[in-house]
Amino acid sequence: MKFTRLLQALLLSAWGLAAAAATPPMQVPDTIAQRAAACIACHGREGASTDGGYFPRLSGKPEGYLYNQLLSFRDGRRFNADMTHMVRHLSDAYLRELAAYFAGLDLPYPSIPASTDASPAMLARGKALALQGDAARGIPACAQCHGAALTGVQPGIPGLLGLPRLYLSSQLGAWLTNDRHALAPDCMAEVGRKLDSADINAVASWLALQPMPADTRPLAALPAPLPTPCSAMNR
């Protein structure tokens, strides 16, 4: 009886090995979409962002902006342990390919109910900074660089809408504390140092509440030159 069971087990094992050998291994497509799949763990499906409250949307951002951010994470101008680990050994050409892939996606923005604990006065302050700036303090309006609809400008200025308040405030805060840098001319470093924590909370709260316009694409160009010190930023 024991011999019979042993023989049956051996036969089943041999059959399983033969079946496995006869099954061809699964082929993973070598495409940029497949290679970019690692990004969706944090940024959401195809870079459309998540509801986690922090990670920014990637799809549809200007290619030049995405490329510059990947370079900055790789080269130490921006600091995030996970992002640095992901890109530290990637070439310029590979980073450009990733940027072009996400820039070329046209995914709908999720419909997320707007809510805030910001006061009406704080939101009014945020709106004023976003659309008018503060001339007395030398702070240009967000709309002067990021476009009247705040959807960004080609080739290198990102949109500010459709982003979580926490992400917006953390990045503005990083400019204020000198923890984030960009390729020259580091426009936001100049602007960011003129903001205080109340400014940052106000403008991030207001931006996060704004609905997306019908056309969410970045502008091809601004109707007027960028304000100093940003005048050479979008060349």
The residue out of 85, 106, 127 marking a domain boundary is 106
For residue 102 the two structure tokens come to 């996400």
Check residues 133 and 185 and name the one with the higher pLDDT: 133
Burial of 185 (0-12, 13-18, 19+ CB in 10 A): middle
Q: What is the pLDDT of residue 234?
A: 47
Q: Do 141 and 210 belong together in one domain? A: yes
Residue among 199, 51, 206 nearest 118 (CA):
206
Residue 13 lies in a domain: no
Residue 102 lies in a domain: yes
Residue among 156, 170, 231 nearest 200 (CA):
170
Residue 10 lies in a domain: no
Q: Do 126 and 222 belong together in one domain? A: yes
Q: For 110-140, write each residue's pLDDT tens digit.
A: 776 678 899 999 999 999 999 999 999 999 9
The pTM of this model reads 0.82
Q: How many domains does the chain have?
A: 2
State whether residue 27 is helix, strand or coil: coil
Check residues 211 and 21 and name the one with the higher pLDDT: 211
DSSP string, 118-187: --HHHHHHHHHHHHT-BGGGTB--HHHHH-TTSS-BTTTB---SS--HHHHHHHHHHHHTT----SSS-H
- Residues spanned by the domain of 131: 117-235
For residue 215 the two structure tokens come to 């056309």
